Amino acid sequence: MAEIKVPELAESITEGTIAQWLKQPGDTVEKGEFIVELETDKVNVEVISEEAGVVQELLFAEGDTVEVGQVIAVVGEGSGATKNPVEADPAESDAPVKNVEVAPATTAPVEKEESSSTDRTIASPAARKLAREKGIDLQAVSTVDPMGRVRVQDVSAHTAAPKQAPAAAPVAKTTSAPQEDDGRTTREKMSRRRQTIASRLLEVRQSTAMLTTFNEIDMTNVMALRTRKKDKFFDDSGVRLGFMSFFTKAVVAALKKYPYVNSQLDGDYIVKNNFYDIGIAVSTEGGLVVPIVRDADRKNFAEIEGNIGELAKKARDNKLSLSDMSGGSFTITNGGVFGSLMSTPILNGTQVGILGMHTIQKRPIAVGNEIEIRPMMYVALSYDHRVIDGKDSVGFLKTVKELLENPEDLLLNS
């Protein structure tokens, strides 16, 4: 008999949510095989079984909150169903299944009732998570995958599809809205990650003396340099030249000049970081995540662009690990990709500074005694005034501006 416990996740993570049971009571599990997917504040983690045997009991249902070290399932000796219905190989579907006596579990009836309509459908964990949050029956979702696998895009398309019958009863099944709402509102439970984002952002606002200073950057020269070099850059490195590498390099140079912006508070101490791990905010369906480009000061433009591309893909595919997002000394967030003209970014965790990029917009600008139309970008630095004074914050942003308006200078600071 072996107990399946919630493993140590990360220093700052003490609990998680059962996102999906990958095995059911009576299923055979091999040593090292995944048995459950946990949703944490940052990433989803799949937990393995340390012993081979038969799943005897699931102590929690999907959606339950569990703590690190807590026993969540029991695996006993013997053999049972060879595969979970979700993972069954069509070639083995007619294989005989041995009858196994399964220890009673208080949560098993609920588990079967909740999962009976979806366990027969092949779906990615991300699709199951989205369907569960929106109260959608996966069997009702149409998919274009030739193997019949339901993806996140299919669930999203199902959500956006017009309802066939306004008066149909299933409305009560897909939402937790009270009867008196009469279909005019939809109540959707926040995911664990969204709850964590909300509480941490509120905590930052309440526990820091956050201020924001703004500036604007004439993007003419950096855009011209990018246009001239992007084809050769791609041929030489295999990655595309974007603006994020320019901003990352400019930020690193500014952090070296103003080290307090690259620090954090620890009680009565200011801890100045002598490394430059730059967080790049990425928007995903589950919320904003901030993977880290490690040692950005030691990387060239191609390496930075490659890192950012890999991390962004992992974020969209829900493949980020805790190590991808742990630490970080400063963060860059780009609201411009959504068309934001100006905003006030909120500090990330214990960091004391975050740079907000915005959309590039052509505006009339005084150049000498002439008025010219130039591509301009507003940038914002939010900072903790307990650590950073106005002089450093304005100087930091001015340095970023000057380097980007004279991008050749970035080579001297790389």
**Catalytic positions, written as ranges:** 385, 389
Helix, coil or strand: residue 169: coil
Helix, coil or strand: residue 214: strand
- Closest by CA position to 114, among listed 102, 101, 128, 99: 128
Round to whole Å and give the CA distance between 412 and 14.
44
Round to whole Å and give the CA distance between 29 and 87.
12
**Tokens 């041929």 belong to residue:** 235
Question: How many residues make up the chain in this entry?
Answer: 414
Enumerate the β-bridge partners of residue 53.
29
- The neighbour count for residue 38, using CB atoms within 10 Å, is 22
Phi-psi category of residue 354: left, alpha or beta, with phi > 0 → left and psi -120 to 50 → alpha: beta
Q: Which DSSP string corresponds to 347-410?
A: P-TTBSEEEEE--EEEEEEEETTEEEEEEEEEEEEEEETTT--HHHHHHHHHHHHHHHHSTHHH
Enumerate the β-bridge partners of residue 283.
288
User: Up-side HSE of residue 284: CA atoms within 13 Å toward CB?
Assistant: 28
Q: CA separation (Å) from 247 to 120, 164, 401?
A: 48, 48, 9
Round to whole Å and give the CA distance between 290 and 375.
28
In sequence order, the 6+-apart residues with CB closer than 8 A to the CB of 134 are 155, 159, 174, 188
Instruction: Quote the DSSP letter at residue 346.
Output: P
Instruction: Quote the DSSP letter at residue 240.
Output: -
Enumerate the β-bridge partners of residue 217.
377
- Find out whether 73 and 4 touch, Cβ atoms under 8 Å: yes
Round to whole Å and give the CA distance between 282 and 261.
22
